[in-house]
Amino acid sequence: MTDDAKVLAHRMYEAFNTRDVAAARTIFSADFVSHPLGTVGVESVMKAWAGMHATFPGLRVLVEDMLSGGDGVAVRTTLHGTLADEPPTMMEFFRVRDGRIAELWGLSTLSRP
């Protein structure tokens, strides 16, 4: 599962970076839980992505580090295309179930305008 989880995480960031919001339906489980946002479901991901792209039209996520084990993936990214002097850092932790991201926990240094 470890390699599959990493591939899935990379696929998620690629979909985000290419603005392929509809791909969320194939990446996240129907009952996906975002613990930082307190939301449930794929539609919440699509809404969050669309909001981020609207706020920061040039936003791109660059994967800096990725570790995986069992059904989990930990990822450190930098966010490029924000108004910050230094690219904000984001830490995200995913749990994968049945080939899809089922849960996410995360922290970010991003300040929204």
What percentage of the chain reaches a pLDDT higher than 70?
96
Q: Do residues 103 and 11 make contact, with C-beta atoms less than 8 angstroms apart?
A: no
Question: Which domains occur in the chain, in start order?
Answer: 2-108 (3.10.450.50)
Higher per-residue pLDDT: 7 or 85: 7
Q: In Å, how far from its chain's centre is CA 47?
A: 13
Answer yes or no: is pLDDT of 14 > 90. Answer: yes
pLDDT at 2: 64
pLDDT digits (tens, 9 = 90+) for 24-69: 999 999 999 999 999 999 999 999 999 999 999 999 999 999 999 9
Which segments of 1-113 does DSSP mark as H helices, in order? 2-17, 24-27, 42-55
pLDDT at 22: 95
